[in-house]
Structure 1
Amino acid sequence: MAQSNRPANCQPQTVSANPVSSPQSPLPASLWLGKLTFFFYVLLTLFPPSEGIWGGGLRAFLWQVGLLCPVLWLLGILLRQRQMPRLGGGWDAIALFAILMAIVSTVFAESPNKALECAIAAAGYLAVVYALKHDLQTPQQRHGLLICQGYVNLGFIACSLGGWAIYAGIPAWRRWQEVRGLAGEVEVSIAPNEIPLGTPGAIAAYLVLALPLLAGLAIADRGWRRGLWLAGSGLGLLDLYTTNSALGWLGLGVLG
Structure 2
Amino acid sequence: MSHTAHIPSHRKPRQRASKSALRAGVAGGVLSTIAVAGAAGPAQADPVTQTIEMPTITSGFSTAVAASAQATQQVALDLETQADEDAAAEKAAKTAKKAHAEAVRKAEAKKKAEAAAKAKAEAEAKQRAERASRTSERTTLSASSGSSDSGSSASAPSSSSSNVSGSAASIVAFAKAQVGDAYSLGSTGPNSWDCSSLVQAAYRTVGIDLPRVSQAQSTFGTQVSLDNLQPGDILYWGSAGSAYHVAVYVGGGQFVGAQNSSTGTVQRSLDYDRPTGAVRVL
Q: What TM-score does the superposition give when structure 1 sets the normalisation length?
A: 0.28
Please identify which structure carries the higher helix content.
Answer: 1
Please identify which structure carries the higher strand content.
Answer: 2
Q: Rg larger in 1 or in 2?
A: 2
Q: Which has the higher contact order (CA 8 A, sep 6+)?
A: 1
Q: What TM-score does the superposition give when structure 2 sets the normalisation length?
A: 0.26
